[in-house]
Amino acid sequence: MNDIEWTTAPKTKDKPIGYQLKRCPCGSTPPLIILSDRIIGAELHWLGGRSSPHLKHNCPGCLAKTARVWKGYLAVIDPRTQQLSCLEITPPCVDALNSYAAAWGSIRGAAIRLSRSTTKANGRIKIEITQSTYATERLPQPFDVHLLLEQMWQTTEKTNKPQMTTPRNPQAEKEAAEETDPILKREATLHEKKTTPQNGEKIST
Ligand SMILES: [Zn+2]
């Protein structure tokens, strides 16, 4: 049995990160402190009763012709409970986060509070982002949001990764679609018409 590769811990990619996904409830979240220094996001399909990420190749959601909706994610800590979680944000939140980053250098350490403008579960989300009194160097390091999402979506295989992006830039999206197969290209064009243009760039993963 000389071939066994003994280790003292599972490889990082196999170790469940296990933080909860936090979505804006009806009402509002408590003030949370952002640990991430950037937003990671992807377009999602609602498929089979759950969210699943849009994939670059042979995407089941595109094949089923379901709409694509961009969601962003941030590692956050609740300062009252010290609980870490992964906060889901929507495209309208991105401009506020980018403005904050432009003004203060980073979103890490900022206080964020999401609320819904209506009592409907799918009402528009309002974001409040303010400076917190927490020194960034004393905050915990952010956990790997990218890995958490891949574990949640169970798409860790290298061949067909979710396309992690900031909100869609129609021109960049069109160029990307042209490099993919004809079905995806057609779907991207269909969905593009429904999407509000946003400035954003792709994050390579
Ligand atoms: Zn898709």
When computed from its CA atoms, the radius of gyration of the chain, rounded to whole angstroms, is: 18
**CA distance linking residue 55 with residue 42, whole number of Å:** 9
Q: What φ, ψ does residue 70 adopt, rounded to 5°? A: -80, 135
Beta carbons of 149 and 205 less than 8 angstroms apart: no
Q: If you average pLDDT over residues 10-32, what whole number do you get?
A: 84
Asked whether the predicted pLDDT for residue 190 surpasses 80, the reply is no
C-alpha distances in angstroms, 50 versus 46, 146, 148, 152?
Answer: 6, 19, 17, 11
- Name which of 85, 88, 74, 89 is nearest 18 in CA terms: 85
How close is the Cα of 47 to the center of ligand 1, in Å?
10
The number of C-alpha atoms within 13 Å of 122 and in the hemisphere containing its C-beta is 1
Q: Label the pairing between strands 50-53 and 40-47.
A: antiparallel
- pLDDT at residue number 200: 47
Q: Containing H/E element for 187?
A: helix 182-192
**Measured in angstroms, how far is the CA atom of residue 116 from the centroid of ligand 1?**
27
CA of 200 to the centre of ligand 1 (A): 19
Give the pLDDT confidence score for residue 202 in this predicted structure: 52
∠ CA(38), CA(43), CA(49), 5° rounding? 125
- Centre of ligand 1 from the C-alpha of residue 195, in Å: 15
pLDDT at 124: 83
Compute the distance from residue 138 Cα to the ligand 1 centre, in Å. Answer: 40
Report how far ligand 1's centroid is from the alpha carbon of 60 (Å): 6
Average pLDDT, stretch 47-63? 91
* Residue 75 CA, ligand 1 centroid: distance in Å: 25
Which has the higher per-residue pLDDT, 13 or 23?
23
Q: What percent of the chain has pLDDT over 90?
A: 49
pLDDT digits (tens, 9 = 90+) for 76-126: 999 999 999 999 999 989 999 999 999 999 999 999 999 987 767 677 889
List the one residue out of 99, 87, 70 whose CA is nearest residue 33: 87
Q: How far is the CA of 205 from the centre of ligand 1 (A)?
A: 17
Q: What separation in Å is there between the alpha carbon of 50 and the centre of ligand 1?
A: 14
Distance 104 CA to ligand 1 centre (A): 35
Map out the domains of the chain as residue ranges. Answer: 20-164, 168-195
pLDDT in tens, 133-177: 988 889 999 999 999 998 888 754 455 566 666 666 555 444 444
Task: Using a pLDDT cut of 70, give the percent of the chain over it.
Answer: 72
Q: How far apart are CA 116 and CA 122, in angstroms?
A: 8
Q: What pLDDT does residue 178 have?
A: 42
